[in-house]
């Protein structure tokens, strides 16, 4: 890809940018697929050293890493959970990216705590009941330019932590992803479910 991108840049300078737009688009798409496949491969590896992670701090950092346009984030509750910080970051980034892609540039996304886990909830169009299981399987996408890996990565990261993932309807009819079986840091046990 690096060699192809280098040659494309040389040809763009010599022949003009617009002639190479389809090539640049294809290269960008290929790089995206490669990055997601590498992330998918890494996300399934065993977790050696989990750490205590501040859910609200991590969520804020993940939100700033994703192109969210005019979307809004609300952290309903917070917790200290035991997880692999890097993989948890990928889980949230993929979930946020998915919410914006399907819910629109001004969608509102909420993150909160459950008795034994956490959830993300959005105000997008939601996921029909018959698609809630397939949506986290390899290659499932409703967008022509989609790779079908984003929510698979979310599912795999949850699974490698020993967590359960459930896709359901959100508070406002959007999509809600509930992750349970999460270990909280000793002083952060939740007393009630959200």
On the question of pLDDT at 193 being above 50, the answer is: no
H-helix or E-strand spanning residue 122: strand 117-122
Residues 9 and 58 in one domain: no
> Which DSSP category does 60 fall into?
H
Cα 117 to Cα 167: distance, rounded to the nearest angstrom: 14
The verdict on residue 194 lying in a domain is no
The domain tally of the chain equals 2
The verdict on residue 144 lying in a domain is yes
Which range marks the domain in which residue 35 is found?
2-41
pTM: 0.73
Classified as helix, coil or strand, 147 is coil
Cα 123 to Cα 172: distance, rounded to the nearest angstrom: 6
Could you give the angle at the alpha carbon of 115 between the alpha carbons of 136 and 86, nearest 5°?
A: 50
Residues 21 and 98 in one domain: no
Residues 31 and 93 in one domain: no
Q: How many CB atoms lie within 10 A of CB 155?
A: 22
When the pLDDT of each residue in the chain is averaged and rounded to a whole number, the result is 80
Residues 182 and 119 in one domain: yes
Residues 12 and 70 in one domain: no
On the question of pLDDT at 118 being above 90, the answer is: yes
Q: Which of 19-33, 95-109, 116-130 has the lowest mean pLDDT?
A: 19-33
């Amino acid at each position: 890809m690096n060699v192809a991108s280098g040659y494309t840049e040389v040809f763009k300078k010599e022949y003009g940018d617009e002639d190479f737009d389809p090539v640049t688009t294809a290269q960008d798409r290929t790089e995206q697929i490669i990055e997601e496949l590498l992330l998918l491969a890494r996300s399934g590896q065993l977790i050696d050293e989990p750490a205590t992670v501040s859910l609200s701090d991590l969520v804020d950092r993940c939100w700033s890493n994703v192109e969210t346009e005019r979307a809004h984030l609300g952290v309903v509750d917070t917790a200290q959970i035991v997880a692999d910080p890097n993989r948890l970051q990928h889980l949230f980034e993929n979930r946020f990216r998915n919410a914006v892609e399907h819910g629109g540039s001004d969608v509102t996304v909420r993150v909160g705590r459950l008795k034994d886990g956490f959830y993300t909830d959005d105000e997008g169009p939601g996921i029909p009941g018959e698609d809630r299981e397939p949506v986290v399987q390899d290659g499932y996408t409703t967008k022509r330019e989609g790779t079908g890996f984003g929510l698979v990565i979310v599912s795999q990261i949850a699974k490698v932590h020993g967590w359960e993932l459930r896709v359901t309807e959100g508070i406002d009819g959007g999509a809600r992803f509930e992750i349970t079986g999460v270990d909280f840091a000793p002083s952060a046990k939740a007393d009630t479910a959200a």
